[in-house]
Amino acid sequence: MIEFRDVTKRYPDGTVAVDELSLSVEAGTITVFVGPSGCGKTTSLRMVNRMIEATSGQVLVDGQDVAKQKPAQLRRGIGYVIQQAGLFPHRTVLDNVATVPLLSGWSKAKARTRASELLELVGLPVEFGKRYPAQLSGGQQQRVGVARALAADPPILLMDEPFSAVDPVVREGLQDELLRLQAELDKTIVFVTHDIDEAIKLGEKVAVFRVGGKLAQYAEPAELLRAPADEFVSSFVGRDRGYRGLGFLSADGIAVEQLETVPVGAAVPTTNDWVLVVDGERKPVGWLRPGSSSTVDGTVTADGLEPGGSLYDVEGGNGTTGSLRSAMDAALSSPSGHGVAVDGSGAVVGRVSAESVLAALSKAREQAATA
Amino acid sequence: MTWVSDHFGQLLQVSGQHLVLALLPVLIGFVLSVPLGWVAHRWRLARTILIPLSGLLYTIPSLALFVVMPALIGTRILDPLNVQVALTIYTIALLVRSVADALDAVPGHVVAAANAMGFGQLRRFFTVDLPLSVPVLTAGVRVAAVTNISLASIGAIIGVESLGSFLTEGFNRTNYPEIIAGIVAILVLALVVDALLLLVGKLITPWTRATRGASKGASA
């Protein structure tokens, strides 16, 4: 556990980077510090491993005041992932990952074996170990950065805007990877970002900082979206918070209605409604518009279909895939207005409608009111 | 040409002397410049003093410096040490700035990462900062080495034997082949040393040649 007790950081010129911060980060959780630049989130993070010293107040790690510990010793027990990865350009990937074990006095062979295991853990081929960081893509470098931070198996991981320098698609992959790793490793992670979406996706708890180093709100992400503490938080959280809040409500029990489907090659059904075209494994291919001409001799072909929208995975348990948000998005993005519900294998099981999502939402609200 | 073949052994021997005279100061100057450059890199005040001061030292004419050396360090007039100490000063004048610039050029996120992982100051300097400075440092050392090889010849004027002695002697005797042989030998030494330093600099920094797509053996 990490605890900030009335921590203030004031620079000699009088600027206050962190103002009377008090919060505790629970062990085994991902806690995200988020806020605009100059809000003191990175400064707060760096006070945990004494890269920055607090002017007043205490930072405790497992009940011990960090100010009373030797910086080098303290830091070897706390993994640190930095923006742009901060890999050593002159060392191979394997040696980069082996850095902290070697500093802590492991034998070279043992450190390297451990480093190879970690490359595998973060999803990189072991052959990458022989390369130099410049030979990897930004996303791969960031994975190496995470592997390096985990090398000595520290209970705490500090992550300082680790994914901000990679493109959005890669970033999303890295975020999913981090959640997967965390499910396996159960570290205490403090993650700094200026991206509220990243904070809401990753954080079990989110601390929103405002300029001047003041903590504006410290809450679970669903709470942050549902009940922002003040105008600053609500504007920082953004416009679509109602919609995004759906991501935290399970779609369990939402009605999945029957949906008419037709396999490719079959006869065109006679109906006035949209029909979903599926392949041999019942996976969606596209929509057949009412009165559509996407047919040859009266049978359905894959050409000329309307492309489908996002899919709602009824078995989706991880992240937001099984949430009301994904059900709503499936309905909204589908050209027919019918959200396509699929099972774990991607086969169509039926349809969900925006109405059923709204019904589920009001039910959830009633339950919350009576609870 | 007959002069060269008659004096080939002597040319080689003096070339050796010349190298020691010119390059020993590069080595010593380098070792001294590293801490000085580090100080200049670390503290702004030190930088504003050290960098202009080293620039100033470099403007002192070499002959003048050779001549006043005995008075400064108490050596005999003909002592090669006069030349070597003076050349060491020139080397430092050139390299302090190189070292400071090279250390400045080490990426901040790499330094921060090293600190965050628990490197001690000294260990970080020798295993992270210094190796990453090598490309910039090599450039500085090459300039210092070539400069010293050329300046060492001037020592001949105050009687310290070097390839420059062929020039002074050649002028005295109006022996053109001797003069040309001396000039060519100095040039060849400078070029060879420069090329060797370039090569060594490349060999000890394999990572600078590693770019995406050009990985050794592995493919992605």
Query: B219: pLDDT confidence band, cut at 50, 70 and 90?
Result: very low
Query: Rounded to a whole number, what is the distance in angstroms from the first to the last CA of chain A?
Result: 30
pTM: 0.76
Task: Please check whether residue A89 touches B, CB under 8 A.
Answer: yes
Cα dist from B87 to A4, A257, B46, B56, B151, whole Å:
57, 90, 23, 15, 8
Q: How far is B118 from chain A (nearest CA, A)?
A: 4
Name A287's bridge partners: A276, A306
By three-state DSSP, how is residue B42 classified? helix
More confident residue, A124 or B69: A124
> Mind listing the pLDDT tens digit for each residue in B186-205?
999 999 999 999 999 999 99
Tokens of B125: 């300097």
Contact A148 B216 (CB under 8 A): no
Name A58's bridge partners: A5
Query: B217: pLDDT confidence band, cut at 50, 70 and 90?
Result: very low
More confident residue, A272 or A331: A331
Phi and psi at B166, nearest 5°, equal: -65, -30
Q: Does some domain include residue A133?
A: yes
Please tell me the total count of domains within chain A.
2
Res A308: pLDDT: 86
Contact B119 A103 (CB under 8 A): yes
Tokens of B213: 């797509």
Query: Are A221 and A268 found together in one domain?
Result: no
**All residues at 6 or more sequence positions from B205 whose CB lies less than 8 Å from its CB, including other chains:** A90, B131, B134, B135, B138
Task: Judge whether residue A368 has pLDDT over 70.
Answer: yes
User: What residues of B are in contact with residue A88 (Cβ under 8 Å)?
Assistant: 110, 113-114, 128, 132
User: What residues of A are in contact with residue B217 (Cβ under 8 Å)?
Assistant: 130
Query: B220: pLDDT confidence band, cut at 50, 70 and 90?
Result: very low
Q: Does some domain include residue A292?
A: yes
Query: A203: pLDDT confidence band, cut at 50, 70 and 90?
Result: very high
Query: Are A296 and A240 found together in one domain?
Result: no
Task: Judge whether residue A126 has pLDDT over 50.
Answer: yes
Residues 7-66 of A with CB under 8 A from B: 49, 51
Give the C-alpha separation, A44 to A272, whole Å: 61
Cα dist from A298 to A267, A269, A291, B96, whole Å:
6, 9, 12, 84
Res B104: pLDDT: 92
- CATH code: domain of residue A332: 3.10.580.10
In chain B, the residue whose alpha carbon lies closest to the alpha carbon of A71 is B118
User: What residues of B are in contact with residue A103 (Cβ under 8 Å)?
Assistant: 117-119, 123
Query: B2: pLDDT confidence band, cut at 50, 70 and 90?
Result: confident
Contact A51 B205 (CB under 8 A): no
Give the C-alpha separation, A295 to B215, whole Å: 51
The DSSP-derived string for A329-356 is HHHHHSTTSPEEEE-TTS-EEEEE-HHH
User: What residues of B are in contact with residue A145 (Cβ under 8 Å)?
Assistant: 113
Task: Judge whether residue A118 has pLDDT over 80.
Answer: yes
Query: Where in the sequence is the domain holding A322, given as residue range(s)?
Result: 261-366
Contact criterion met (CB below 8 Å) for A243 and A328? yes
Residue after which a domain boundary falls, among A218, A247, A276 = A247
Query: Are A302 and A212 found together in one domain?
Result: no
Res A220: pLDDT: 92
Query: Are A203 and A104 found together in one domain?
Result: yes
Percent above pLDDT 90 for chain B = 45
Query: Are A195 and A293 found together in one domain?
Result: no
> Mind listing the pLDDT tens digit for each residue in A285-317?
888 888 765 555 677 877 778 888 888 888 765
What's the whole-number mean pLDDT along residues A69-75? Answer: 90
Phi and psi at A318, nearest 5°, equal: -95, 145
Give the C-alpha separation, A182 to A177, whole Å: 8
Query: Are A134 and A83 found together in one domain?
Result: yes
In chain A, the residue whose alpha carbon lies closest to the alpha carbon of B128 is A88
Q: Given A90, A128, A132, which is nearest B131 (Cβ)? A: A90
Res A192: pLDDT: 95
Res A61: pLDDT: 93
> Mind listing the pLDDT tens digit for each residue in A146-178?
999 999 889 999 999 998 888 888 888 889 889
Residues 141-160 of A with CB under 8 A from B: 145, 148, 158
Res A316: pLDDT: 65
Which residue type occupies A19?
Answer: D
What's the whole-number mean pLDDT along residues B102-114? Answer: 91
What's the whole-number mean pLDDT along residues A32-60? Answer: 92
Percent above pLDDT 90 for chain A = 43
Q: How far is A136 from chain B (nearest CA, A)?
A: 6
Interface residue of A130, A131, A161 to substitute, partner B, most B CBs within 10 Å: A131
By three-state DSSP, how is residue B113 classified? helix
Contact criterion met (CB below 8 Å) for A46 and A39? no
State chain A's mean pLDDT as an integer: 88
Which residue type occupies A170?
Answer: V
Contact B207 A76 (CB under 8 A): no
Query: Are A213 and A290 found together in one domain?
Result: no
> Mind listing the pLDDT tens digit for each residue in B168-180?
888 888 888 888 8
Name A81's bridge partners: A159
> Most confidently modeled of A82-86, A179-183, A359-363?
A179-183
User: What residues of A are in contact with residue B132 (Cβ under 8 Å)?
Assistant: 88-90
Tokens of A237: 């959280």
Res B4: pLDDT: 77
Q: How far is B31 from chain A (nearest CA, A)?
A: 22
Please report, for chain B, the start and end positions of each structural domain, with discontinuous segments joined by +: 2-206
Q: Given A73, A86, A134, which is nearest B211 (Cβ)? A: A134
In chain A, the residue whose alpha carbon lies closest to the alpha carbon of B123 is A103
Res B216: pLDDT: 44
Query: Are A326 and A216 found together in one domain?
Result: no
A66 half-sphere exposure, CB direction, 13 A CA radius: 30
Give the C-alpha separation, A290 to A274, whole Å: 5
Q: Which fold would CATH assign to domain B2-206?
A: MetI-like fold (1.10.3720)
Phi and psi at A125, nearest 5°, equal: -65, 145
DSSP A248: G
Residues 143-172 of B with CB under 8 A from A: none
**All residues at 6 or more sequence positions from B54 whose CB lies less than 8 Å from its CB, including other chains:** B92, B93, B94, B96, B97
Among the ranges given (A193-197, A256-260, A358-362, B70-74), the one the predictor scored with the smallest mean pLDDT: B70-74
Interface residue of B111, B117, B202 to substitute, partner A, most A CBs within 10 Å: B117
Interface residue of A52, A80, A90 to substitute, partner B, most B CBs within 10 Å: A90
Query: Are A60 and A108 found together in one domain?
Result: yes
> Mind listing the pLDDT tens digit for each residue in A231-246?
999 888 877 888 888 8
The DSSP-derived string for B127-195 is IIIHHHHHHHHHHHHHHHHHHHHHHHGGGGGGT--STHHHHHHHHHTT-HHHHHHHHHHHHHHHHHHHH
Residue after which a domain boundary falls, among A247, A271, A286 = A247
In chain A, the residue whose alpha carbon lies closest to the alpha carbon of B108 is A86
State chain B's mean pLDDT as an integer: 87
CA angle A246–A250–A256, rounded 5-degree value: 100
Contact criterion met (CB below 8 Å) for B215 and B206? no
Contact A103 B215 (CB under 8 A): no
Query: Are A288 and A169 found together in one domain?
Result: no
Contact A82 B113 (CB under 8 A): yes
Contact criterion met (CB below 8 Å) for A309 and A340? yes
> Mind listing the pLDDT tens digit for each residue in A19-44?
999 999 999 999 999 999 889 999 99
Query: Are A9 and A86 found together in one domain?
Result: yes
Res A291: pLDDT: 72
Task: Please check whether residue B203 touches A, CB under 8 A.
Answer: no
Cα dist from A75 to A47, A251, A256, whole Å:
11, 43, 52
- CATH code: domain of residue A66: 3.40.50.300
Contact A49 B116 (CB under 8 A): yes
B51 sits in which H/E element: helix B44-58
Res B215: pLDDT: 44
Q: Does some domain include residue A371?
A: no
Contact B109 A86 (CB under 8 A): yes
Please state whether B74 falls in left (phi above 0), alpha (psi between -120 and 50) or beta: left
- In angstroms and rounded to an integer, the radius of gyration of the C-alpha atoms of chain B is 21
Q: Given A87, A91, A135, which is nearest B215 (Cβ)? A: A135
* Long-range contacts of A171-174, Cβ-Cβ distance < 8 Å, separation of 24 or more: A171/A198, A173/A139, A174/A139, A174/A142, A174/A143
Give the C-alpha separation, A364 to A154, whole Å: 40
Task: Please check whether residue B204 touches A, CB under 8 A.
Answer: no
Query: Are A238 and A308 found together in one domain?
Result: no
Res A53: pLDDT: 92
Residue after which a domain boundary falls, among A191, A225, A247 = A247
